[in-house]
Amino acid sequence: MRYVDGFVVPFPRKNLAAYHRLARLGARLWKKHGALEYMECVGDDLKVKMGMPFPRLARLKPSETVAFSFIVYKSRAHRDAVNARVMKDPVLAKMPKKMPFDMKRMAYGGFKVLVEA
C-alpha cells in the first residue's frame, strides 16, 4: 500500500524564491533516492467558504502564504528506507542553514493511503 508524507508550511511571501530553491533541491534529492512523487504547492485560492481555510489552520500572518506538500512512496517501509538514504546524502549539506520558514510552525505527518484513483 502506498504511503504519503504530508506537510503544511507557512512562510513569508517575501521568501517564496528561497522556498522554491529549497523545494527544487528537496525534489531532486528525494526522487534520486526513490520517492515516487514529490509535490510542493503554494497557496493560490485560499479564501474558501467551506471548512477551515488553510490561512486559519496555519495561523497565517497577513504577510504570509502557505505551502501544501507531499511525497509519495511505495509503502511505509519504502519511505523509511528513502528517508534514511536522503539523510546520508552529502547533498543534504547544501540545504540552507537558515530555512525560509519557521520550522516550529511546519505541520508534518505520515499517512496510509485510504483511496487511490
Considering the domain boundaries, does residue 69 fall inside one? yes
Considering the domain boundaries, does residue 51 fall inside one? yes
Q: What is the pLDDT of residues 34-93, one digit of tens each?
A: 999 999 999 999 999 899 999 999 999 999 999 999 999 999 999 999 999 999 999 988
Q: Which amino acid is at 103?
A: M
Instruction: Choose among 96, 21, 101, 104: nearest CA to 67.
Output: 101
Considering the domain boundaries, does residue 117 fall inside one? no
Q: Using 50, 70 and 90 to split pLDDT, how confident is the model at 96?
A: confident
SS3 108: strand
Considering the domain boundaries, does residue 77 fall inside one? yes
Can you tell me the mean pLDDT for 20-43?
Answer: 96
Distance of alpha carbon 68 from alpha carbon 25, whole angstroms? 17
pTM of the entire structure? 0.92
The domain that contains 39 carries what CATH number?
A: 3.30.70.100
The secondary structure of residue 62, as a DSSP letter, is T
Q: Which amino acid is at 42?
A: V
User: Structural domain of residue 108, as residue ranges?
Assistant: 3-112
pLDDT of 20 > 90? The answer is: yes
Considering the domain boundaries, does residue 38 fall inside one? yes
Distance of alpha carbon 102 from alpha carbon 64, whole angstroms? 11
